Amino acid sequence: MPVKKRASANKGGNAHNDKLKLEGAEKRKRALQLRIAGFSCAQIGEELGVNASTVHYYIQKAVKEIPKEEADEWRAIEMGRLDRMQTKAEEVLRKNHVYVSNRGEVVYDGKAKVIDDGPILQAINTVLGIMKRRAQMLGLDSPTKIEQSGSVEVTTIQHPDLSVLTDEEYTAWKAANAKLRASMEDTAHGTKDHDDA
């Protein structure tokens, strides 16, 4: 006897799922719009009622959903923003920073001002973060596909019963075995073949 499906329960579930999908798409679109406008992920998260990592996910998904031309435009905006941030961080790297005490006075070591490496190290971290983000956007850190062609020759060696070999046969077998092993090691390490001489 055929089983009847309950259509009414199914319709309501689909309508609810469609509404959730639409709300999600709207949030993703809004997150991308706010990011293009220059808001941080934390600020966008406050606006949308989600955390910054969810905003990052929304933006990534939104970029995948939009046409290529618009995605390229968004990437160009983000790359320009990263370039401006990197320029500012590099300006910090080029400046001389002196150590200032808690009282706001420059600290001296004898007559020389004490150099403060803190701002330089922070600027280096900032530049590294920008470089990492740029590499992610450009796909530079993606796994590399390696295509290999050619053939592999498999040689099966059946070890002889050495007890039946004469001394001369055993010596010849041992020399051939040593030569084969050397050839296999050369192939594995990419070195030249041994001379037969």
Q: Is the pLDDT assigned to residue 141 strictly greater than 50? A: yes
Which residues, listed in sequence order, are joined to residue 112 by a DSSP beta bridge?
109
| Alpha carbons within 13 A on the beta-carbon side of 79 | 12
Domain ranges for the chain: 10-66, 68-141, 157-191
28, 59 Cβ separation under 8 angstroms: yes
Q: Is the pLDDT assigned to residue 191 strictly greater than 60? A: no
pLDDT of amino acid 8: 47
CA distance 104 to 79: 37
pLDDT band at 172 (very low <50, low <70, confident <90, very high): confident
Give the CA angle between residues 45, 70, 82 to the nearest 5°.
Answer: 60
Average pLDDT over residues 144-157: 67
pLDDT of amino acid 103: 92
CA distance 130 to 43: 19
Q: Give tens-digit pLDDT for 15-44.
A: 777 777 777 888 888 888 888 888 888 999
Q: Give tens-digit pLDDT for 43-74.
A: 999 988 999 889 888 888 887 777 777 778 87
Sign of CA dihedral 42, 47, 53, 55: negative
Q: Is the pLDDT assigned to residue 195 strictly greater than 60? A: no
Task: Report the residue count for the chain.
Answer: 197
Ranking 6-10, 87-91, 95-99 by mean pLDDT, the lowest is 6-10
Q: Give the H or E element holding residue 112.
A: strand 112-113
pLDDT of amino acid 46: 92
pLDDT of amino acid 9: 47
61, 23 Cβ separation under 8 angstroms: no
Choice between 97 and 140, residue whose per-residue pLDDT is larger: 97
Q: Is the pLDDT assigned to residue 7 strictly greater than 50? A: no
35, 44 Cβ separation under 8 angstroms: yes
pLDDT band at 194 (very low <50, low <70, confident <90, very high): very low
pLDDT of amino acid 196: 47
Q: Is the pLDDT assigned to residue 156 strictly greater than 70? A: no
Q: Which residues of 122-156 are buried (b: 16+ CB within 10 A; e: fewer)?
A: ebeebbeebeebeeeeeeeeeeeeeeeeeeeeeee
Task: State the CB neighbour count (10 A cutoff) for residue 44.
Answer: 24
